[in-house]
Chains A and B, each alone.
Chain A
Amino acid sequence: MFKKILIANRGEIAVRVLRACHEMGIAAVVVYSDVDRVALHVRKADEAYPIGAAAASESYLNVQKILDVAQRSGADAIHPGYGFLSENAKFAQACADAGVKFIGPTPAAMEALGSKTRARQAMERAGVPFVPGTSRGVDSLEQAEEAAARIGYPVMLKAAAGGGGKGMRLVHEPGQFKSALEAARSEAERSFGDGEVYVEKAIVNPRHIEMQVLADEHGNTVYLGERECSLQRRHQKVLEEAPSPIVDPEMRQRMGGVAVRVAQAAAYTNAGTVEFLVDREKNFYFLEMNTRLQVEHPVTELITGLDLVHLQIRIAAGETLPFRQEEVQLRGHAIECRIYAEDPDHNYFPSPGRITLLLAPSGPGIRCDSGVYEGWNVPIDYDPLLAKLIGYGTDRNQAIARLTRALGEYFVGGIKTNIPLFRRILRDPDFCAAKLDTGFLDRMLQRPENDPVDSSKAEVAAIAAGMFVALAATSSRTDAGGAGRREAENCPSHWKSASRGEALR
């Protein structure tokens, strides 16, 4: 087993990996940028090394600086977390060249899955289902119409060279085909200098469901059940749950089997996630494989009772998987809320700044993986994820009830967070009925907010406001010259300054 692991990340995931290291008796080395000197992962680390300026390219994305720290600290492995260098095959290769174990898949597996065409050919041989389509450009209207008839409407026309929605047209019926094809072609020609267009089955309002896999370095690959990740805003996941409310044991077995075949086709090792689109008839189609630990891995941990980071480390150290597929059992239901520093009242603008007050929830069925603390100044330079709040229950309803209760206890003062968004989601009738798809959140946010504003508490607030001022005035009088005064000076209360200000007038 490793003696010392370098964590090449920051925020909640660095803390989460660090905790696993300590649980396993492994020393944790961290790196930090100039703005992260007192970040939580640095406070909890055994060794900490500065690696440069706030810009990620100068620090957390700088391969050479991170490898230098590995060398200086004598770390025998590197955990990349998610984001930053986690899916960078060159980094994984550089680690191997430097004789430091990269906790993740091999560079070859990452490259195979990163390249769309090569991956697709290997997958098709392994019987992995893709969204039905022509996969190559169509030459004529007749050919395109024929393909559409075979696939079944609605279909999507897509620019072969495309991306970002350019050169895409949704076609509901044959009558629209001609004009849609011409429009898609000319748009593709204008945007990419290449008018090649192919036909694909349109999956309207799909679900996004992914399967967790684990593979050791001795040829054993298992799946650990799925996660439902359909709640997204601007293609960013917001809330995830496991298991998916629509996946039954039979479907799970089929999806899991496909996920294992995807991993095996790429000779994949360590933890990975196979993403699928699922249509209304519960047909599922391979989307891509994420070659890293996912943000939402805790929901799988809670329903399987497994610790994915422990297992990642053990696999990287050369151990065989300590269980077989048939020993994996799912129990209960888990839901994760991604708590971001963003302002729900201003179109979810990022809201960095100092956290003046932090009251974190706890109690039955609640897990809070946080990367922040009271007094910490959330920097503007990185992803605004503050923490992940995960609720576990015997069933989905209990998980929702516990999360709702925990969100009521959660308070982050000084900066804005998306906590109110989760209150709204968790009481939405469609969410509670598990009617989810990737368009759910956009539709919900377009509806006027039916927030039950409790104005009956206005009088309570009025009394509290006076009390804050009165108590500040009282304590500054009684504390004058006493021991409490120093404390008061270290921790200045705005109420106190307000009351002093009033007294001076």
Chain B
Amino acid sequence: MLYDVSIDGKNYRLDLHHADGRWSCRLDGRDLEVDAVLARPDVLSLRIGNMAYEVKSERVDRDLHLWIGSTSFAVEVRDPRSLRSRVRSEDDRAPRKITAPMPGKVVRVLVREGDEIEIGAGVAVVEAMKMQNEIKSPKKGTVQKITAMEGATVNAGDVLAIVE
């Protein structure tokens, strides 16, 4: 099986085959001796040569992370035969949604539609776990739309406002 793997934005071409109880592995054209066992869901015991690693897998919202020791890596795995491209547009001129980073209650909305705001400006205050947190704008621009309502309960990822 052939995979295109992206680790923190760097791409690797990985070829894995399993035959006769052994794995053969080729990473960017190099052959490696590899042995992998799923110790439990989301925990992989991996040997490369005789080096041993415990790798943990974590998915938060849509982001996938692998942890080796205390280091985390952002991961995307693609099958190169797949026709669909998953490249997401990160164009800075495009409107950006400002989302709630955690579930909570909208205590205050700090801007009005049409306001010109700077990067880092507070947009709304969300209270969770007895703490009030100011949600800041990731870009400079105009507040195009406000969807957050004071007093409303929001989930992580809910759109609070759109800045363009």
Contact = CB atoms under 8 A, between A and B. Distances in A.
B42 A413 contact: yes
Contacts of A380: 102-104, 128-129
A257 interface: no
Interface stretch (B65-73, B88-96, B110-118, B144-152): B65-73
B121 interface: no
A470 B102 contact: no
Interface string A458-477: 11111111111111011100
B56 A413 contact: yes
A461 B42 CA distance: 13
Interface in A436-479: 453-455, 457-471, 473-475
Nearest to B8: A458
A140 B103 CA distance: 53
Contacts of A413: 42, 56-58, 67
Contact of A384 (B8, B42, B46, B129): B129
Contacts of B77: 465-466, 468-469, 498
Contacts, number: 166
B131 interface: yes
A382 B131 CA distance: 9
B159 interface: no
A463 B70 contact: no
Given A356-B59, A458-B73, A460-B46, A466 B14 contact: yes
A461 B68 contact: yes
A408 B70 contact: yes
B1 A495 contact: no
A350 B133 contact: yes
Contact of B102 (A352, A463, A491): A352
Interface string A401-416: 0000001100101111
B29 interface: no
A371 to B, nearest CB: 14
Interface residues of B, number: 55
A465 to B, nearest CB: 5
A357 interface: yes
B1 A357 contact: no
Contact of B69 (A346, A454, A462, A466): A454
Interface in B128-158: 128-131, 133, 156
Contacts of B82: 502, 505
A494 interface: yes
Given A382-B129, A411-B56, A470-B18, A462 B42 contact: no
Contacts of B34: 463, 467
A352 B103 contact: yes
Contacts of B75: 461, 465
Interface string A367-394: 0000000000000111110000000000
A460 B48 CA distance: 8
Given A357-B43, A380-B102, A408-B69, A350 B59 contact: no
A466 B76 CA distance: 10
Nearest to A236: B131
Contact of A461 (B7, B32, B79): B7
Interface string B43-70: 1101010000101111110001011111
Given A346-B101, A471-B36, A471-B38, A462 B14 contact: yes
A357 B42 contact: yes
A39 to B, nearest CB: 15
A218 B44 CA distance: 58
A493 B40 CA distance: 11
Given A413-B56, A463-B34, A350 B131 contact: yes
Nearest to B53: A460
Interface string A322-354: 000000000000000000010100110111110
A383 B130 contact: yes
A474 B57 CA distance: 18
Contacts of B129: 341, 350, 352, 380-384
Contacts of B10: 458
Nearest to B65: A413
A493 to B, nearest CB: 6
B70 A423 contact: yes
Given A460-B48, A465-B66, A350 B128 contact: yes
15 contacts: A349-B133, A453-B71, A460-B53, A461-B7, A463-B14, A463-B36, A464-B44, A465-B66, A467-B36, A467-B46, A471-B44, A493-B41, A494-B57, A498-B77, A502-B78
In order of increasing CB-CB distance, the 9 nearest A-B pairs are A350-B129, A413-B58, A464-B55, A462-B12, A461-B73, A467-B36, A466-B14, A502-B79, A350-B128
Given A381-B129, A416-B60, 13 more contacts: A349-B101, A351-B101, A352-B103, A380-B129, A411-B56, A413-B42, A458-B7, A458-B73, A460-B55, A461-B75, A462-B5, A465-B14, A466-B77
Interface of A: 341, 343, 346-347, 349-353, 356-357, 359, 380-384, 407-408, 411, 413-416, 419-420, 423, 453-455, 457-471, 473-475, 491, 493-495, 498, 502, 505
